[in-house]
Amino acid sequence: DYAGLGKEVVVVGIRDHLEIWDRASWRAHLDEIEGSAEDVAERLATKRD
C-alpha cells in the first residue's frame, strides 16, 4: 500500500540502484518524458530558423 504498487510492477536499473514502479505509473512516467523530449526537439528546431 505505502509504495502504491499494484499486481504488476516494473523493475528498472538506474546506475547503481534499482527502482520498483507500478506498471501503470511507469507507463505514465515514460509518456511524460517522451512528450518533454519532443517539446525540446521542436523548440530547438524552430530556433534554427
CB 26 within 8 A of CB 12: yes
pTM: 0.65
> What is the predicted pLDDT for the residue at 22?
96
CA distances from 42 to 6, 30, 31, 33, 45 (A): 35, 18, 17, 14, 5
Domain range for 40 is: 9-48
Q: Is residue 1 part of a domain?
A: no
> What is the predicted pLDDT for the residue at 48?
65
Domain total for the chain?
1
Q: Is residue 3 part of a domain?
A: no
**pLDDT per residue of the chain (49 residues) written in tens, 0 to 9:** 788 899 999 999 989 999 999 999 999 998 888 888 888 888 888 876 5
Q: Is residue 2 part of a domain?
A: no
Instruction: Please count the CA atoms within 13 angstroms of the CA of 30 that sit on its side-chain side.
Output: 9
Fill in the amino acid letter for 46: T
Cell of 21: 514502479
